[in-house]
Structure formats: structure tokens, C-alpha cells
């Protein structure tokens, strides 16, 4: 990757993606979004990886989108080059084939919360602040804050954050189901590593299939989940082997209905 503000490290079966722009509270610009998408591709290309961790460097998880990166954009440019592109990148993160754990070491606001919501598990430190303050700027959440967050956390809690501007602590967020575990200050990354080790001991194929099944049940990316599961199943059949062999031998396949 060409942007060192998104770091990627491998340790055995665990990949760690780190947002490393602490002087700007890990706020994203276009270059960082592109680097995050590239990191996702690299993680998935590594067949040894069974679980991934997403973390922020410094005192914030992520402040979301850098206002300086989008504030001067024309409306059309903003909608296509910023919102839609960021949406695609976060969707790429959410649909990683392996489980993703977010370590919330600091505040996750706006796009930072939308980023955390792309993870399967969220571990937050008790002092963090979590919310969607976009409407205080005259803006609305654009990276699936009104879509994925509603599916995963429920419409009413999203209303409270978006319409009422409510900001929650780590402990409040856990009570509301926004995060899964709360730890003391400075412990989120270690807790995420421990959880990742627990996940990595489980069957990697079962993890991937289960993640797709859960996403489908939750109304997320149903078409991809169904086609991926169907293709995996078909790829293991004797009929497919016969079809490939027949193609290579330039003959008619003799299918036997073999699974």
C-alpha cells in the first residue's frame, strides 16, 4: 500500500489494520479510503488469515471524514466521489470473508462509528464517546449510518444519535448494543487480540460460511451471500469436476448428480 496512514500487519492467523493519522484523530481523506480498500484486498489474498482487527492510532478510533477533504466539494462531486466511494469501501470492509473485530481505543464519531459498525465485534474502552453528530453540521450520515447501523443496532437508537445528537460512553453503548465488550482505558487493543486468538482457533471455513449466513439473515447483501454459499457448494461437487474435465477434453459431460 502506498499510504502509510493505513498500516497492515500480519501475525500468524491474525491481520491488523491500523488507521494511523493521530494528529487528525484518524479522520479519513480519499487517499486513506483507497488505502483501506487495498488493505482489505491484501488481507483476503492471504490464505493464512482467519480473523482481522481494526484499530486507530493515538487517542481516537476515528473522527470519520476529514471536513477539509470534502467541505469544498461541489454537491455532485461530494455525492459521487466522497459519499458513494466511501460507502463502497466500508461495504468492502464489512464483507471481508473473515470475522473483523474493531478495537475502539478512543472516540468513534460520525464516519468513525460507521467504520466501527462494519466490524462483526466491537470492543470499546469505557471512556470513549460514540455518536453520529452529522446533523449538527447540517449534514446526514453518508457511510451507511442510516442503513447498516439501523439493521445492526435498531432504528430507535440511530434516531437518538442522528436526530437528538445523543453521544454515548462506552458503557452506555454496551447497554444499548452498540458495542459488545467494554474494557478499561488502554486495554482495547489487547482485548481485541485476545478475542482474535479465540476466533482463530475455530474452523476457518465454518467461520466464513457462518458470517455469510448471519449477514443474510440480517438483510445484508443477501444476493452475494446466497451466490457465494451456492458457488462454494457447487465447487465441491463431482458434477463440477466432470464438467471441467469434459470441457478440457472437448466432450459432452456425463453428469451423475454427485455431490
59: number of CA atoms within 13 Å, CB side?
A: 3
Catalytic residue chosen out of the listed positions 91, 134, 208, 220: 134
Catalytic residue chosen out of the listed positions 114, 125, 208, 220: 114
Query: What DSSP assignment string belongs to 124-153?
Result: EETT-EEE--GGGGT----SSTTTHHHHHH
Judge whether 5 and 36 are in contact, CB under 8 Å.
no
Judge whether 99 and 183 are in contact, CB under 8 Å.
no
Active site residue 134: yes
Judge whether 21 and 63 are in contact, CB under 8 Å.
no
Distance (Å, whole) CA 114 – CA 102: 11
Tell me the three state secondary structure of residue 115. helix
Distance (Å, whole) CA 11 – CA 49: 9
DSSP class of residue 65?
Answer: B
> Measuring CA to CA, which residue among 163, 143, 188 is closest to residue 33?
143
Active site residue 114: yes
> Measuring CA to CA, which residue among 110, 127, 122, 131 is closest to residue 28?
110
Residues 6+ positions from 150 with CB-CB distance below 8 Å:
158
Distance (Å, whole) CA 153 – CA 130: 13
DSSP class of residue 20?
Answer: -
Grid coordinates representing 257 are 448428480
Catalytic residues: 114, 134
Amino acid at each position: 500500500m502506498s499510504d502509510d496512514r493505513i498500516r497492515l500487519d500480519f501475525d500468524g492467523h491474525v491481520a491488523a489494520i491500523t488507521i494511523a493519522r493521530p494528529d487528525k484523530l484518524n479522520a479519513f481523506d480519499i487517499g486513506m479510503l483507497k488505502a483501506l480498500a487495498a488493505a482489505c484486498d491484501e488481507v483476503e489474498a492471504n490464505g493464512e488469515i482467519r480473523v482481522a482487527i481494526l484499530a486507530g492510532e493515538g487517542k481516537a478510533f476515528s473522527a470519520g471524514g476529514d471536513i477539509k477533504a470534502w467541505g469544498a466539494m461541489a454537491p455532485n462531486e461530494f455525492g459521487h466521489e466522497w459519499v458513494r466511494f466511501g460507502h463502497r469501501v466500508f461495504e468492502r470492509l464489512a464483507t471481508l470473508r473473515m470475522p473483523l473485530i474493531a478495537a475502539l481505543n478512543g472516540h468513534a464519531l460520525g464516519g468513525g462509528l460507521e467504520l466501527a459498525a462494519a466490524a462483526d465485534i466491537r470492543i470499546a474502552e469505557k471512556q470513549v464517546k460514540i455518536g453520529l453528530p452529522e446533523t449538527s453540521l447540517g449534514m446526514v450520515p453518508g457511510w451507511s449510518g442510516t442503513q447498516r447501523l439501523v439493521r445492526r443496532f435498531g432504528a430507535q437508537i440511530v434516531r437518538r444519535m442522528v436526530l437528538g445528537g445523543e453521544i454515548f460512553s462506552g458503557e452506555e453503548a454496551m447497554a444499548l448494543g452498540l458495542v459488545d465488550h467494554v474494557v478499561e482505558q488502554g486495554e482495547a487493543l489487547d482485548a481485541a487480540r485476545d478475542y482474535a486468538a479465540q476466533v482463530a482457533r475455530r474452523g476457518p471455513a465454518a467461520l466464513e460460511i457462518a458470517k455469510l449466513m448471519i449477514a443474510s439473515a440480517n438483510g445484508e447483501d443477501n444476493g452475494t451471500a446466497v451466490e457465494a454459499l451456492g458457488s462454494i457448494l457447487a465447487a465441491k461437487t463431482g458434477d463440477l469436476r466432470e464438467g471441467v474435465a469434459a470441457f478440457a477434453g472437448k466432450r459432452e459431460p456425463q453428469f451423475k448428480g454427485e455431490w
